[in-house]
Amino acid sequence: MRASDNRRIDGRRLWDGLMAMAEIGATPKGGVRRLALSDVDRRGRARFREWCEAAGLAVRVDAMGNMFARREGRDPARLPVLFGSHLDSQPSGGKFDGALGVLAGLEVIRTLNEMGLVTEAPLELVNWTDEEGSRFGHSLMGSGVWAGVYAPAATEALVDAEGVSVSAALDAIGARGPEPAAAFPADAYFELHIEQGPILEREGCAIGIVTGGQAQIWYDAVATGQESHAGTTPPEARRDALLCAARVIELVDRMMRARGEHGRGTVGELHVSPNSRNVIPGEVRFSVEFRHPDEAEVTRIAAQFPREAGFVARDCGVALELRELFRIPAQPFDAECIALVRQAAMRLGYSSREIVSGAGHDAVYVARRVPAAMIFTPCKDGLSHNEAESIAPHEAEAGCQVLFEAVLARANRR
Ligand SMILES: [Zn+2]
């Protein structure tokens, strides 16, 4: 029997930590507003550092403000096992998105301290800078630069709505550290996060074993018809750009549903011109995005969608211009790391299922450099990016216990 077999993390202490962090940037409706690199973020970081140092961790910070809090292992030759998430939030975000993974990581450390257990490999608890992207328009910023997905200089030049650059914001709150913002060798990365969707709750599962992130394809679309008088233009003379957009939206939905449970297709943004009730719309600009865990499906969509959208536009007498913005490849997580999460959930007797991450997460970029896996916990009504985002203490505890077991198993593996 291993020393860890009887050891439980302290669910109460984890919950108290979550509630204490949620006071920083607390909103009247019970949520959190802790925008990346804001003064509120500075306070969150300071409290995190305080807690880490009190737990005996040595905190390093890189040039993007990513924080790494290290606990030495027994074997100096071993690479560190990383785990964590992010402390920034949406403008009207919840208490748990990101914070759960960071605070659960701290609870893992505190539990090991109490056990007096030194792992073979060193451990590093991570707080990634600006996961949400709501201030500078660029999600997964810190982990993206770290993983080499984004160029540091271009990222630092991004500005918020007030014209403040990432670079200036890093300096303004003293978040810039001396370490280069670049991947370093690590043994693994684990991230606990709320699901932000309804699947685990619907199926009564305590733990989601996340197998990877989905492939995505994004388009900008412009439908150009002809503005004309709503009252005088007969049906055959109409070239209605909004009708075309509406039919393309219907096409996106149809293509999504044809792919069953894993299909995703969304038109979330629409700009109608001239947007007047008695003018037939002459131009509509809109967004289109598709996602699927299987990259081959996204490749098929990339071939099918422009062609079928073209037929729709022709039937409407409208010109449709489609610009593919980018494709993000599917990112499968590491089989061994996934297995550790699965084994932990099984050993602890938690109901679990495999799940693909619908949202982007730091782990998806980190996985390009380091073997990675994620653990999801259910959240109430699948709600997130919302002040009403909610989880139960026992759900946080279960996720943290699985994180503890997975990290310990990896750090002590032969
Ligand atoms: Zn998050």
pLDDT in tens, 14-29: 999 999 999 999 999 9
pLDDT for the residue numbered 32 = 96
Whether the pLDDT of residue 139 is over 90: the answer is no
**pLDDT band (50, 70, 90) for residue 7:** confident
Least confident of 181-185, 263-267, 357-361: 357-361
Residue 330 Cα to ligand 1 midpoint, Å, equals 18
Mean pLDDT within 354-369: 95
pLDDT for the residue numbered 6 = 65
**pLDDT band (50, 70, 90) for residue 134:** confident
Contact 358, 376 (CB under 8 A): no
**Hey, how many other C-beta atoms are within 10 angstroms of the C-beta on 333?**
25
- Percentage above 70 pLDDT, the chain: 99
Residue 251 Cα to ligand 1 midpoint, Å, equals 30
- Percentage above 90 pLDDT, the chain: 93
Residue 298 Cα to ligand 1 midpoint, Å, equals 24
Residue 101 Cα to ligand 1 midpoint, Å, equals 9
68-95: b (≥16 Cβ within 10 Å) or e: bbbbebeeeebbbbbbbbbbbbbebbbb
Contact 223, 317 (CB under 8 A): no
Residue 86 Cα to ligand 1 midpoint, Å, equals 7
**pLDDT band (50, 70, 90) for residue 4:** very low
Mean pLDDT within 178-203: 97
Work out the mean pLDDT of the chain and round it to a whole number.
96
Residue 196 Cα to ligand 1 midpoint, Å, equals 9
Whether the pLDDT of residue 137 is over 90: the answer is no
Mean pLDDT within 366-380: 97
Alpha-carbon span 298 to 303, nearest angstrom:
9
Residue 93 Cα to ligand 1 midpoint, Å, equals 10
Mean pLDDT within 190-195: 98
- Cα atoms in the Cβ-side hemisphere of radius 13 Å centred on 288: 28
Whether the pLDDT of residue 2 is over 70: the answer is no
pLDDT for the residue numbered 145 = 98
The 10s digit of each residue's pLDDT in 148-159 is: 999 999 999 999
pTM higher than 0.85: yes
Residue 89 Cα to ligand 1 midpoint, Å, equals 8
- Give the C-alpha distances (Å, rounded to integers) separating 129 from 44, 78, 152, 264, 335: 12, 26, 13, 28, 27
The 10s digit of each residue's pLDDT in 241-288 is: 999 999 999 999 999 999 999 999 999 999 999 999 999 999 999 999
Residue 15 Cα to ligand 1 midpoint, Å, equals 18
**pLDDT band (50, 70, 90) for residue 381:** very high
Residue 361 Cα to ligand 1 midpoint, Å, equals 6
Backbone angles phi and psi of 124, in degrees to 5: -135, 120
Residue 94 Cα to ligand 1 midpoint, Å, equals 10
pLDDT for the residue numbered 35 = 96
Whether the pLDDT of residue 57 is over 90: the answer is yes
Residue 319 Cα to ligand 1 midpoint, Å, equals 39
Residue 96 Cα to ligand 1 midpoint, Å, equals 8
